[in-house]
Amino acid sequence: MKTPMLNTCEPRPSTGTLHCRVTRPALLILMSLVPVTMSACHHHLNFAPRHEARASTKRATENPSGDVFATIYQRTERNFANAAFFKPSATSIADGAGELAPLIVIEATVDGLGYATFPQFGAIEPSDNGQLTIDTTRPTIYAGTGQIELRGVKFQTVTFVWFHEDRTNLKACMAAGAIRAVVGDDGFPLLWEIGRCTGEPTSRANPRMLYVSSSLELEAEDRYGPPLTGRRHAIESDTAESVVPRIIEDGPIPMGPYVYIDRTARHITTLLCRCSPSQMDAIVTTATYSLQSLVQVMEVLASIGRSSDDGTLCGIQFSTSPELLVRWPRSVAPRTP
Question: Among 100, 130, 106, which residue's Cα sits nearest to residue 305?
Answer: 130
pLDDT value for 65? 38
Residue 131 has pLDDT above 60, yes or no: yes
336, with CB counted inside 10 A (0-12, 13-18, 19+), is exposed
pLDDT value for 53? 44
State which H helix or E strand residue 218 sits in. Answer: helix 214-224
pTM: 0.80
Residues in the chain: 337
Of all residues in the chain, what percent carry a pLDDT higher than 90? 46
Residue 4 has pLDDT above 50, yes or no: no
The DSSP bridge pattern shows strands 121-126 and 115-119 to be unpaired
Strand, coil or helix: what is 150? Answer: strand
Residue 337: HSE in the Cβ half-sphere, 13 Å Cα cutoff: 12
pLDDT value for 233? 95
Alpha helices in 92-208, H assignment, sequence order:
none
**pLDDT 10s digits, 141-154:** 999 999 999 988 89
pLDDT value for 171? 53
Phi/psi of residue 197, nearest 5 degrees = -70, 140
Of the pLDDT bands very low, low, confident and very high (cuts 50, 70, 90), residue 273 is very high
pLDDT value for 64? 45
Q: Which of 247-256, 259-268, 326-335 has the lowest mean pLDDT?
A: 326-335
Higher pLDDT, 333 or 31: 333
Non-local CB neighbours of 156 within 8 Å, separated by 6+ positions: 96, 145, 146, 147, 182, 183
For the beta sheet containing 115-119, the strands, ordered from the edge strand earlier in sequence to the opposite edge, are: 6-12, 17-22, 115-119, 109-110
Most confident of 58-67, 151-160, 314-323: 151-160
Strand, coil or helix: what is 189? Answer: strand
Higher pLDDT, 283 or 53: 283
| CA dist., res. 34 & res. 32, Å (int) | 6
Of the pLDDT bands very low, low, confident and very high (cuts 50, 70, 90), residue 23 is very low
Structural domain spans, the chain: 6-36+72-324
DSSP 130: S
Residue 326 has pLDDT above 50, yes or no: yes
pLDDT value for 134? 87
Average pLDDT over residues 251-280: 93
